Structure 1
C-alpha cells in the first residue's frame, strides 16, 4: 500500500522528469555519463546538468541522445497529461505505454513487430513488456542470445518460438520461460496479429 507520506511528494518539474528518465535509461544500458558523452557528442557536464534537471536540451541535442540510447525522442516526455508523483514509480496507465526501440534500429516496423514497456521504468531487476507481431512478423531471420532470462504469455494469435534446434508453436494461454543464453527468435506464423506479454532481465543486469 502506498503511504500518505509518499502521496505528498512534490511533483517533479518537466526538466527534472526528463533528467530522471535520461538517468534511468542510461543506467539500464550500462553506460556511464562519460560513455554517453562520447557516444552522443555532448559534454559530460551538460549531460550531468540534464540529469539533475538543471539544463533544458534542444530537440536536436535530445534526438542525438535518444539515438544513442535506442529510443524515440518521445520517451523523455510526458504523455496524456501529468502523472501523480506517488504513481510514477509503480504504475503505467494503458494510454501511457512507451515504445521500445533498439540501438541502431530507428523502428522495428519493417520487421513486423512492436514492443511497448509495461514496467514503470528500467531501474529494477525485471522488465515487463507487451509485443504485437503482425502476420509474418519476427525478431529477424537469425537467432540471437544474451545473458539473463525471459518468460512470456501469448494473449492472441500464434507465436513460433525457436530455441536452438527446437521450434514451438504457442497459442493463446500458452506460456514460456528460458535462459536467454539459448539462441532464440520469435515469429508470427499465423494470419492474424499475435500479442505476447513478456518479462526479462534488463540490459544493465545482463553481465
Structure 2
C-alpha cells in the first residue's frame, strides 16, 4: 500500500500512538499485553495501515494513561496529514494534565502541547499559571533540559539554592537534574513557553483534556 493511499486520519492516529508508547517506554509486545490486542495489529495501527475502532482507542488510552479525547483532538480541524506533522493551529492545541500527583502539584496550572506530537526528542509547551499556582510544594529534579521564556506576568523559578524572579520577556535554560520549581506569586495570571528535552520524562503521566481557544 502506497503512502498516498493511506487514510490520513489513520496515519495521524498511528503516529500519536507510536509516540505515546515510546514516551511510556513500552514495547509493542508490552502494549499488546496491556490492551489485549496482537503485536501485528498494533504495528499496523502505528503505521497507519489500520484505523482503530473507538473500543481499541479506549483500550489504548487506558493502557497509556490517557483519555480517548487525546487521540480525537489530534485528528480534528481538517488539516492534511503533512500539515499535522509540522503545524499546530491555535484551536488544535492539546491540553496536558496529570495522574499520580498530589493534590497540590500543578494546582492552578495548565499545560498545552504546541508541538505536533510526542514523537520528537523535545517538545514545546505553553503553560498558564493562575495567581498562586505552582508545580508543587517541593523542588524536583529529573533527567533532561528545560528552556523557556515568560510570555506574560511574573514567574518565580526556584533552582537548587537559587531563586529567580522572571518578568515578561525574560528567558531561562537549565539542567533539569537540578531540583526546581515554578510558581506565580503575583495577583495576575502568567504564562510561559518552554522547550523540554526529553518530553517523555515530564509527560510520562500526562493525559489530555479539552481544547481551549483562549490558551
With the shorter chain as reference, the TM-score category is 0.7 to 0.9
TM-score for the superposition, normalised by structure 1: 0.80
Deviation at 1:85, TM superposition (A): 2.8
Give the distance between the partners of 1:108 and 1:140, measured in 2 at CA. 6
Can you give the 5+ residue segments of structure 1 that lack an aligned partner in the other structure?
A: 1-7
Aligned with residue 28 of structure 1, among 23, 26, 29: 23
Q: 1:38 to 1:182 in 2, by over 3 A?
A: farther
Higher relative contact order, structure no. (Cα contacts within 8 Å, ≥ 6 residues apart): 2
Deviation at 1:50, TM superposition (A): 2.9
Can you give the 5+ residue segments of structure 2 that lack an aligned partner in the other structure?
A: 203-215
Q: Tell me the C-alpha RMSD between the 2 structures.
A: 2.9
Deviation at 1:58, TM superposition (A): 4.8
Number of residues of Structure 1 aligned to a counterpart in Structure 2: 198
Aligned with residue 44 of structure 1, among 36, 39, 46: 39
After alignment, is 77-86 or 123-132 more displaced?
77-86
Aligned with residue 57 of structure 2, among 57, 62, 65: 62
Give the distance between the partners of 1:23 and 1:49, measured in 2 at CA. 11
Counterpart of 1:87 in 2: which secondary structure? helix
Aligned with residue 81 of structure 1, among 66, 77, 82: 77
Give the distance between the partners of 1:142 and 1:58, measured in 2 at CA. 42
Give the distance between the partners of 1:133 and 1:142, measured in 2 at CA. 17
8 Å contact kept, 1:115–1:131: yes
Specify the alignment match of 1:188 in structure 2. Answer: 184
